[in-house]
């Protein structure tokens, strides 16, 4: 942290306020206490400079939503940590959508407060977006689904996340995404939690809503509510991708659907589009149609790579046949190891981590190496 790290506490509950101030004493040499008051109105009168973090006591959900919006409007770069007594998912989501980045339950434990503060502060002084490293977007795509894009995306993200490489995994299958199922996670915050707050999007906010899986990647899943998915726009997705590229070395996106809208927002900024298909006549026919469409949209050439999933060496259609029909080389073939993949899904752990010696794991590890080049 830094001496310019300015914190305010707005908390009517005396026990909670005392607990926060007591915990913050351990950071006395690296933070500036901007003030400790009972109500937002008092803070507005006393505060003259910028704030980086605000601990905000919330006793009524609607009042808390209004206070959070007021704070984030006045201090757009501030991270608001809501403190409340309600152990209620509705409160979590409502306050998060209003702009809070963390939610602490009273009575506030010292360890939880410190973890929360470290979480929102670790990227606060990482530099301007221009100074941050520019990561690569890797889209794993098939227009109709059912070709294993989620299997490839989940395992590729886990393989790339080795050696502490920062990797994000985004589920852009807005209608029927499965990343959360494959990884056995049920995050409180999803892609719509980000897009509904896109006007105040920053690194702190993003890291506050993303879930890190035990296999390594930070996850942003599809909205739980179908109605929320309908409201997500290409412009919002574009903004999210720009921010993710400034935080992560690789951003792996599981894509399905037409060459329009949110998908095009991904493809136009992707370093690679891994077109995933199988060695079947319907699969190859559809692949040929969409590869031609990508080419017409200026997204062909070296950016698009062909990945053959569920490959069987003794299949009637061979890799060389697919290459001849599609007019492009196979970038990576992933063998059909159904039992290993299903076992990994049932256990919520990518097969590259669960069974690293499986043929499918070795193939995806090979894909990861080729992606890095």
> If one looks up domain 7-125 in CATH, what number appears?
3.40.50.2300
Reported as a single tens digit per residue, the pLDDT across 153-190 is 999 999 999 877 899 999 888 777 788 889 888 776 67
pLDDT score for 198: 65
Reported as a single tens digit per residue, the pLDDT across 22-76 is 888 776 666 777 777 877 766 554 455 567 888 999 999 999 999 988 888 787 7
Residue ranges of the chain that CATH labels 3.40.50.300: 136-372
Residue ranges of the chain that CATH labels 3.40.50.2300: 7-125
CATH superfamily assigned to domain 136-372: P-loop containing nucleotide triphosphate hydrolases (3.40.50.300)
CA distance 293 to 297: 6
Mean of the per-residue pLDDT values for the chain? Answer: 83
- 95 or 202: whose pLDDT is higher? 95
pLDDT score for 119: 65
pTM for this predicted structure: 0.67
Over range 129-139, report the average pLDDT: 71
- Alpha helical stretches, state H, the chain: 14-24, 40-46, 61-74, 89-98, 110-121, 149-160, 179-182, 191-195, 203-209, 226-230, 234-247, 261-267, 281-296, 319-326, 338-346, 351-354, 359-372
Tokens, residue 371: 């992606």
pLDDT score for 123: 43
């Amino acid at each position: 942290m830094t001496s310019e790290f300015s914190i305010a506490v707005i908390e009517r509950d005396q026990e909670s306020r005392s607990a926060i101030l007591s915990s913050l004493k351990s950071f006395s040499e690296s933070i500036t206490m901007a003030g400790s008051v009972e109500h937002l109105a008092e803070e507005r009168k006393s505060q003259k400079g910028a704030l980086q973090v605000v601990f905000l006591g919330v006793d009524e959900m609607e009042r808390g939503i209004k206070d959070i919006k007021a704070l984030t409007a006045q201090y757009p770069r501030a991270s608001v940590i809501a403190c409340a007594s309600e152990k209620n998912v509705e409160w979590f989501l409502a306050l998060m959508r209003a702009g809070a980045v963390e939610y602490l339950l009273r009575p506030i434990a010292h360890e939880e407060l410190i973890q929360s503060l470290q979480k929102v502060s670790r990227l606060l002084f990482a530099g301007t977006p221009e100074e941050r490293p520019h990561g690569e977007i890797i889209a794993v795509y098939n227009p109709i689904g059912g070709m294993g894009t989620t299997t490839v995306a989940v395992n590729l993200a886990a393989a790339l996340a080795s050696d502490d490489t920062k990797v994000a995994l985004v589920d852009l299958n807005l209608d029927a995404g499965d990343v959360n199922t494959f990884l056995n996670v049920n995050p409180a915050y999803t892609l719509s939690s980000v897009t509904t707050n896109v006007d105040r999007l920053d690194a702190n906010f993003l890291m506050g809503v993303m879930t890190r899986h035990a296999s390594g990647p930070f996850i942003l899943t599809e909205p739980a509510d179908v109605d929320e998915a309908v409201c997500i726009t290409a412009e919002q997705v574009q903004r999210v991708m720009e921010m993710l590229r400034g935080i992560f070395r690789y951003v792996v996106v599981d894509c399905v659907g037409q060459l329009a809208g949110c998908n095009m927002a991904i493809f136009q900024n992707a370093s690679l589009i891994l077109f995933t298909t199988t060695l079947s006549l319907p699969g190859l026919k559809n692949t040929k149609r969409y590869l031609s469409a990508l080419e017409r949209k200026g997204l062909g050439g070296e950016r698009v790579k062909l990945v053959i999933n569920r490959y069987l060496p003794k299949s009637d259609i061979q890799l060389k046949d697919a290459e001849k029909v599609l007019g492009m080389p196979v970038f990576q073939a992933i063998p059909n190891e159904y039992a290993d993949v299903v076992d990994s899904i049932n256990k919520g752990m990518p097969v590259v981590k669960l069974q690293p010696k499986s043929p499918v794991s070795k193939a995806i590890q090979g894909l990861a190496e080729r992606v890095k080049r």
